[in-house]
């Protein structure tokens, strides 16, 4: 013990102690300033405004500012693809160089959505259901059916469409609706300019009959005579199956 105390009082011990202290101090300073340099402590830049830019331009701005970026995308109808709609951090925020800026852009490819079951729904109900799925009503086709303005069938790109099928968001859907007249009524064709045989064929094809025939003027060849008027007129729209149509013909 006495030897240890004597050693602690020697110049050699004091020199070793001072040397150890200096080494520890130097090591601390190296680590401290090294970390400050590595993390760029106290060095901050202002985040530029890239929201509202096209993505190519936004990338150029961020790279010039020595900032990294990460891109996410969403689809929105009627918005230009490639447009930056969100950024995080917000513009004018102060960050270190190399910080990642998170961007949200409009994608060009629409995502698919499941087509809803709109069969037997009214036109108003079906339209609302389509809007909820970000789909649009395209053409409307009416067919003879007792149900008025009720969806009987749906088509997409000319093909029948079943509930649950995936279709691109924003697609236009064709609705086949009932006209409320039922299958006992048919649309009256316009026969003006038809020969008698052509008129008879057209009427028979839709379930109607030829009624009274009247000739106007001097008709030398009944086969070449053409229909100049009909009753009921074609503007009547729909008539019951079996209705007799009166024709007036002339050369």
pLDDT at 85 over 80: yes
Task: Give tens-digit pLDDT for 195-235.
Answer: 999 999 999 888 899 999 988 887 777 778 899 999 998 88
Span 60-83, average pLDDT: 88
Q: What is the pLDDT of residue 169?
A: 87
Sign of the C-alpha dihedral, residues 164, 165, 169, 174? negative
Q: Which residue has the tokens 């008539």?
A: 239
Task: Give tens-digit pLDDT for 130-182.
Answer: 999 989 999 998 887 778 899 999 999 888 999 999 999 888 999 999 887 76
Task: Give tens-digit pLDDT for 3-36.
Answer: 656 655 666 666 776 777 777 778 877 776 666 6
Show Cβ contacts of residue 218 under 8 Å, excluding neighbours closer than 6 positions: 251
pTM comes to 0.46
């Amino acid at each position: 013990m006495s030897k240890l105390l004597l050693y602690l009082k020697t110049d050699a011990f004091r020199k070793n102690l001072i040397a150890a202290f200096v080494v520890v101090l130097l090591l601390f300073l190296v680590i401290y300033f090294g970390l400050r340099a590595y993390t760029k402590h106290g060095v901050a830049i202002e985040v530029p405004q890239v929201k509202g830019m096209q993505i190519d331009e936004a990338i150029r701005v961020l790279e010039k500012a020595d900032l990294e970026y990460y891109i996410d995308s969403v689809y929105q109808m009627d918005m230009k693809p490639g447009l930056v709609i969100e950024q995080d951090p917000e513009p004018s925020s102060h960050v270190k160089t190399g910080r990642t800026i998170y961007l949200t852009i409009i994608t060009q490819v629409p995502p698919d959505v499941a087509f809803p079951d709109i069969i037997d729904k009214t036109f108003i109900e079906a339209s609302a259901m389509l809007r909820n799925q970000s789909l649009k009503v395209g053409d409307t086709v009416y067919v003879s059916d007792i149900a008025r303005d009720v969806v009987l069938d749906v088509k997409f790109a000319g093909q029948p469409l079943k509930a649950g099928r995936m279709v691109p968001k924003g697609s236009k859907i064709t609705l086949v609706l009932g006209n409320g007249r039922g299958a006992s009524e048919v649309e009256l064709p316009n026969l003006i300019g038809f020969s008698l045989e052509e008129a008879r064929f057209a009427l028979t094809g839709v379930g109607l009959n030829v009624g009274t025939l009247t000739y106007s003027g001097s008709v030398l060849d009944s086969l070449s005579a053409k229909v100049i008027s009909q009753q009921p007129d074609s503007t009547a729209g729909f008539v019951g199956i079996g209705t007799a149509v009166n024709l007036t013909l002339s050369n």
